[in-house]
């Protein structure tokens, strides 16, 4: 039987089972649902443009406009980093981490056909969980929303991922996309790597540390420029106690 390394080498993609345990998968799916709910609450209360999207997430990613997405979350960047050895074994490549990105797709989400940027030389999409309880099971038995890849032989292949399963693919070479989603929600995290001494070589996607925003100027400037004023961040309630304001 062909090894995973040989399959990846020959085809540029590879499906992996049990990349994370059931416990971790359940934890992370709940984590994404809670994070998306937190953003919905912040967005509703503060309004678009009035909160820090690099910390709380955004609905404005053009790839999935209207869906919760977040770059470089510390939890997922930590998983990204801690899985490097496993990724080396699966692909047969010497890799280092660049960045993680997670998203909660919702009803009617579409991912247009595309290839990824340079920090996604070796890309992955890991299924954390989904809710398709709204889908008519008689019309669509065992509905599972596939990611499509175009193989080197120009074939369109649907890859169905159960929670805990992952697709690895050469992000800058293999076209990938998703057709319209019928379910309620579907959580994926994308873990990205570059080859050591490869053509891109962009450790941590150009950041100094994991868990940081993509662009360091996105870090709250009032905190980094030493002009921090506690009154900008707190409000006094009726009992004379100070509460933090989410920005
Ligand atoms: Fe992509």
Angle of helix 84-91 versus helix 4-11 axis, rounded to 10: 70
Q: Looking at residue 222, what is its pLDDT?
A: 43
Instruction: Enter the pTM of the model.
Output: 0.87
Q: How many A from CA of 49 to the centre of ligand 1? A: 26
Q: How many A from CA of 211 to the centre of ligand 1? A: 20
d(CA 223, CA 231): 13
> What residues form DSSP beta bridges with 69?
58, 103
Q: How many A from CA of 166 to the centre of ligand 1? A: 14
- pLDDT, average across residues 99-103: 98
Q: How confident is the model over 79-89, as pLDDT tens digits?
A: 999 999 999 99
By the 8 A CB rule, do 7 and 167 touch? no
Does residue 174 sit in helix, strand or coil? coil
Any idea which of 15-24, 96-105, 228-237 has the lowest mean pLDDT?
228-237
By the 8 A CB rule, do 209 and 80 touch? no
Q: How many A from CA of 71 to the centre of ligand 1? A: 13
The pLDDT-based confidence of 163 (bands split at 50, 70, 90) is very high
Q: How confident is the model over 195-239, as pLDDT tens digits?
A: 999 999 999 999 988 999 987 544 554 444 344 455 555 666 777
Domains of the chain with bracketed CATH:
4-212 (2.60.120.620), 217-247 (no CATH)
Q: How many A from CA of 169 to the centre of ligand 1? A: 10
């Amino acid at each position: 039987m062909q090894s995973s390394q040989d399959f990846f080498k020959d085809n540029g993609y590879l499906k992996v089972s049990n990349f994370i345990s059931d416990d971790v998968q359940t934890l992370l799916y709940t984590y994404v649902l809670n994070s998306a709910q937190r953003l919905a609450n912040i967005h509703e209360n503060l309004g678009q443009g009035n909160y820090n999207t690099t910390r709380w997430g955004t609905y404005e990613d053009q790839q999935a406009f209207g869906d919760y997405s977040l770059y470089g979350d510390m939890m997922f960047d930590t998983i990204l980093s801690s899985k490097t050895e496993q990724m080396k074994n699966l692909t047969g490549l010497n890799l280092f981490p660049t960045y993680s990105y997670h998203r909660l797709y919702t009803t009617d989400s579409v991912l247009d056909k595309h290839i990824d940027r340079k920090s996604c030389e070796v890309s992955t999409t890991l299924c954390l969980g989904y809710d398709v309880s709204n889908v008519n099971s008689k019309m669509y038995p065992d509905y599972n929303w596939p990611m499509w890849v175009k193989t080197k032989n120009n074939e369109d292949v649907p890859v169905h991922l159960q929670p805990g399963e992952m697709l690895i693919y050469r992000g800058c070479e293999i076209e990938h996309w998703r057709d319209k989603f019928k379910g309620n929600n579907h959580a994926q995290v994308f873990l990205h790597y570059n080859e050591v001494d490869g053509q891109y070589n962009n450790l941590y996607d150009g950041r100094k540390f994991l868990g940081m925003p993509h662009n360091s100027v996105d870090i709250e400037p009032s905190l980094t420029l030493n002009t921090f004023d506690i009154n900008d961040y707190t409000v006094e309630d009726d009992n004379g106690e100070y509460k933090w304001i989410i920005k």
